[in-house]
Structure 1
Amino acid sequence: MQSDSPSTNEAPAKGGTDHPAHEDGRWGQLFSGRNGIYSAALAGGVVLHACNMYVATTVMPSVVADIGGLDFYAWATTLFVVTSILAATLTAKLLKALGPRGAYCVSLLIFAAGTIVASLANDMAVMLLGRSIQGFGGGFLYALAYAVTRLVFPPALWARAVGLIGAMFGIATLIGPAIGGIFAEFGDWRAAFWSLLPVIAIFAVIAFISLPRTSPGKEERAPIAYAQILLLTAAVLIVSAGSLSPVLLWNLAGLGAAVVLIALIVVIERSGGARLLPRGSFSRGAPLGLVYLMIALLMTGVQPEIFVPYLVQTLHGQSPLWAGYLAALVAVGWSTASLLSPRFRGRGGDRLLIIGPPILLAGLVLLAIVMPVPGGGAWQWLAPICLGLILVGFGIGLTWPGLVTMVYRHAPVDEQDLASGGMTTVQLFAAALGAALAGMIANVAGVADPGGVAGASKAAFWIFALFALAPLASIVLARPLLRLAGARS
């Protein structure tokens, strides 16, 4: 069933205004007729991207046990997200050039190539190369889900569609850790990557036969912000490189350099020309800047999850399979809250932005208390760990649909694709920076030296305690954002 245009849902979004219809959509509308086909295609790409994340997270302890590279443990995530950022910055260009159908197929091809390279890795360098290529394809898939949502669905269904995208991470939690954990249990982590290839082929077929060939936003300019992309990538890599050293001075030097590079990005963005983010993103009188900042803070706050499989295996005696499922509880909380969030949309619904960050904060504080204590698998320690992980995901999931629809509503009319791609860029940049910071904190705390239970325990406390500062900052920003967004609606 092919279509060359998004039919009746094709009305371009109008930035800078509030759409009352946002709160009128129903789940049945999202899954009926052509909307149902679009939903399956977009959700499928996100499932594949998220499933790969949990497969890789689950098998990484087995990978480093086989080919070495514990010092580069966090880099497997960092480089994946760095290349995802590069893809997100190019999404508007790819969508304009190839349309939704072609963009999805190319993204899936890149993703498949990276999967093959990762499965053949015989040392950490090749693994990191494969993860980088996977990240490039996955970044396109994830950014396209948000960008195409605006193109193929009417505004009334945006919050529901965004909730569906978030819920796909919950589906991935049932599949990814199982795939990674089962193969890790049998000592064949490579097969965990190979098993994704048939799924990639299936989703490529679904995307080709269902998505529109052309984009209604082809008139939108999509110049590539080369300077900002280079600086953004350099900032993440510098922090990541500094995180490898157990010397605090080098860690701080990397952070300082990254701050300087981010400041340069802001200067370039304000000077005009090609941009990563739409107009108004750095204006004190526009809500977009605060929305993007909230996205960055909340995404940073969930990044300690990359160390959860290692910590629960080392400190709490869990197998690779169960460690993967424990780490996936963050996504379970996110997915559950994403599905519930649209029910509270409507008058005052955006106040979920005030409720979500304290829940995320509570989860991190709980984990900082219970995760460092070696429990040997005892449920009196595992139960609060599970609760903390669910709270972390629930806190961000509750706010996510509201933040995404705020971007849609307040972005300029002629920069909607840029706004969608910019949202994913900010999200992934925060994830990459957060992963690098988590690796830095873990290395300084002694996860590799002295290592073992003592190093893991110390690292667990400092990772969760310091990352609690991110949702704390977002609590401060939530009310000013609501006032500003209300004044502009």
Structure 2
Amino acid sequence: MTTVEQGWSTLLGRRNVLPSMVLAGGVALHAVNVFLVTTMLPSIVRDIGGLDYYAWSTTLFVVASIIGATCSAHLLQTLRPRGAYVVAALLFALGCLVCALAPVMPVLLAGRTIQGIGGGLLISLSYAMIRLLFDQPLWPRAMALVSGMWGVGTLVGPAIGGVFAEMSAWRQAFYAIIPLAVAFAIIAASVLPNKVAAGRASPLPLVQIALLSIAVLTISAGSVSARPIWNVTGITIAAILTVLIVRIERRSTRKLLPADAFRLGTPLALVYATMGLLAMAVTSDDVFVPLFLQVLHGRSPLVAGYLSALMAGGWTVGSVASSNLSGRNARRVLVVAPCVSLVATVLLLLMMPTHSDSGWIRLGGLAIALFSLGLGVGLGWPHLLTWILKLAAPDEQDRASASITTVQLYATAMGAAVAGLLANTAGLADPGGIEGTARAAFVLFAVFTAAPVACLAFTLRLVRSI
């Protein structure tokens, strides 16, 4: 097969374009909704109240997404691709309907939970379908296409959410998503195949799912407190539960991740470790960068938000740019990727904590650093995800596909919690103001330089073993 036949022209050509758009569309639907709701949430709270539950809109959504992701392999075997996608899309639409009709915050939280389950299924099913729909040489490009939808969501979601918020029409935003989700279900049912590889549906690892959900809830609950003691408590409990999950995974026949995922030093374990650390590094910065830009560099919320979105843009560009690499070049880019993120993190460490009016030169430097941070992650991302599918045993392919979303979401929650702990301990709230924010920025970027350094060590070992 020639290079052209294996390239983007094949993935987006006549044979594959419709399945490709379905997989990308499912992730885009979820991603746009994430940033749309985040933008509208202040307006929602002003309308129906529930400020005390503000953070739980995201917390429950993330937990529900993890539950949906872990159930995707079972659903795929039970209902086949068409049925699984229809159920996922309709659950997502139902969640939107509940949110649109919500008279009070608890009802909205119920809707967000249903949305999260549907969204987690959509993301995880997209990764699972890549190996079923496309030849292996196309996997990195398909991974890049699907992952790139988060960049689209970051750019489009806040803009659409801002428009509906300005019009005091947040309910209409939820209503508008419903026909899109229903139309997506119809298209998926008509485009996707209705068969998967022969085999029985794997039993759900209910104990691990429950423990993982409690761990994320604990992390999130601790991270919203301004008191470091609660941050530490949340992270500690989550760490203990994670160790317990690992012990159960090693002994149980009902597994959450592929068997080699917890065997230290194996290629698959190295891939998961690298993937999780990269996701944590970007998430930790993404949580506080808009605040740092506003307080320390005098940017408006809109400008700060879109400067922060450069990380997602870099991630998308890196994924697309590196997805055509294979063999030795793919291994090389796995080593280059954390180096790019490390340089970007050091630049942010040098520039972000310094209070200034952010002239164009400094602002340009910050923009380049933020873009480069995401670029480094994106360069390695499609190859890391592809190696998860390559390294997993043949009878664990569905589980491996589902694990991509599970690990990414868990790393995201952990990254946000650690970032909150570091920022609060450094003085974000006390003494607060410019001084406290500058301290928080310095400590955050200083500590998280360790993430790409560790990733570099892991990838060096990985490329020697694969």
User: TM-score over 0.5 for the alignment?
Assistant: yes
Q: Which runs of no fewer than 5 residues in structure 2 stay unpaired? A: none
> Aligned with 1:275: secondary structure?
coil
After superposition, the Cα gap between the structure-2 partners of 1:53 and 1:36, relative to the gap in structure 1 and judged at 3 Å, is same
1:228 Cα offset (Å)? 1.1
- Cα distance in 2 for partners of 1:188, 1:311 equals 30
- 1:99 and 2:80 equivalent? yes
Report matched runs for 1:4-403 at 5 Å. 25-60=6-41, 75-119=56-100, 125-186=106-167, 188-215=169-196, 217-284=197-264, 286-303=266-283, 304-375=285-356, 378-403=359-384
Q: How many residues align?
A: 465
1:226 Cα offset (Å)? 1.1
Q: Percent identity?
A: 48
- Cα distance in 2 for partners of 1:431, 1:21 equals 38
- Cα distance in 2 for partners of 1:41, 1:373 equals 45
1:151 Cα offset (Å)? 0.7
Q: Which runs of no fewer than 5 residues in structure 1 stay unpaired? A: 1-19
> Aligned with 1:172: secondary structure?
helix
1:91 Cα offset (Å)? 0.6
In structure 1, what residue type is equivalent to 2:28? Answer: V
- Cα distance in 1 for partners of 2:93, 2:416 equals 24
- Cα distance in 2 for partners of 1:275, 1:286 equals 17
Q: Which moved more, 1:364-373 or 1:139-148?
A: 364-373
Is 2:228–2:424's contact at 8 Å kept on the other side of the alignment? Answer: no
1:443 Cα offset (Å)? 4.3
After superposition, the Cα gap between the structure-2 partners of 1:173 and 1:257, relative to the gap in structure 1 and judged at 3 Å, is closer
Q: Could you say which residue in structure 2 is the equivalent of 1:433?
A: 414
1:377 Cα offset (Å)? 6.4
CA deviation digits over 1:93-146, x for unaligned, max 9? 010111111111111122223334444566665554443332221111111111
CA deviation digits over 1:293-331, x for unaligned, max 9? 111111111113133444444554544543432232111
In structure 2, what residue type is equivalent to 1:431? Answer: T
Is 1:98–1:214's contact at 8 Å kept on the other side of the alignment? Answer: no
After superposition, the Cα gap between the structure-2 partners of 1:145 and 1:299, relative to the gap in structure 1 and judged at 3 Å, is same
In structure 1, what residue type is equivalent to 2:322? Answer: S
Is 1:83–1:139's contact at 8 Å kept on the other side of the alignment? Answer: yes
> Aligned with 1:280: secondary structure?
helix
> Aligned with 2:261: secondary structure?
coil
In structure 1, what residue type is equivalent to 2:63? Answer: V
Q: Which moved more, 1:317-326 or 1:96-105?
A: 317-326
In structure 2, what residue type is equivalent to 1:88? Answer: A
1:92 Cα offset (Å)? 0.4
After superposition, the Cα gap between the structure-2 partners of 1:220 and 1:154, relative to the gap in structure 1 and judged at 3 Å, is farther
Is 1:438–1:463's contact at 8 Å kept on the other side of the alignment? Answer: yes
> Aligned with 1:353: secondary structure?
helix
In structure 1, what residue type is equivalent to 2:195? Answer: T
- Cα distance in 2 for partners of 1:99, 1:66 equals 41
In structure 1, what residue type is equivalent to 2:239? Answer: V
After superposition, the Cα gap between the structure-2 partners of 1:441 and 1:74, relative to the gap in structure 1 and judged at 3 Å, is farther
- Cα distance in 2 for partners of 1:71, 1:445 equals 25
> Aligned with 2:257: secondary structure?
coil
In structure 2, what residue type is equivalent to 1:101? Answer: R
Q: Which moved more, 1:86-95 or 1:206-215?
A: 206-215
After superposition, the Cα gap between the structure-2 partners of 1:285 and 1:327, relative to the gap in structure 1 and judged at 3 Å, is closer
- Cα distance in 1 for partners of 2:20, 2:440 equals 41
Report matched runs for 1:459-478 at 5 Å. 459-478=440-459
CA deviation digits over 1:150-185, x for unaligned, max 9? 111111211111111122223334421221233344
1:384 Cα offset (Å)? 2.6
2:393 to 404, 409, 412: 412
Structure 1 length-normalised TM: 0.86
Is 1:21–1:156's contact at 8 Å kept on the other side of the alignment? Answer: no
Q: Which moved more, 1:430-439 or 1:190-199?
A: 190-199
- Cα distance in 2 for partners of 1:31, 1:249 equals 51
CA deviation digits over 1:10-47, x for unaligned, max 9? xxxxxxxxxx9999711111112331110011111111
After superposition, the Cα gap between the structure-2 partners of 1:190 and 1:452, relative to the gap in structure 1 and judged at 3 Å, is farther
Q: Could you say which residue in structure 2 is the equivalent of 1:12?
A: none
Larger relative contact order (Cα-Cα within 8 Å, sequence gap ≥ 6)? 1
After superposition, the Cα gap between the structure-2 partners of 1:74 and 1:307, relative to the gap in structure 1 and judged at 3 Å, is farther
1:481 to 459, 462, 466: 462
Is 1:296–1:426's contact at 8 Å kept on the other side of the alignment? Answer: yes
> Aligned with 1:227: secondary structure?
helix
- Cα distance in 2 for partners of 1:306, 1:218 equals 43
- Cα distance in 2 for partners of 1:114, 1:365 equals 41
- Cα distance in 2 for partners of 1:121, 1:371 equals 40
In structure 1, what residue type is equivalent to 2:90? Answer: L
Structure 2 length-normalised TM: 0.89
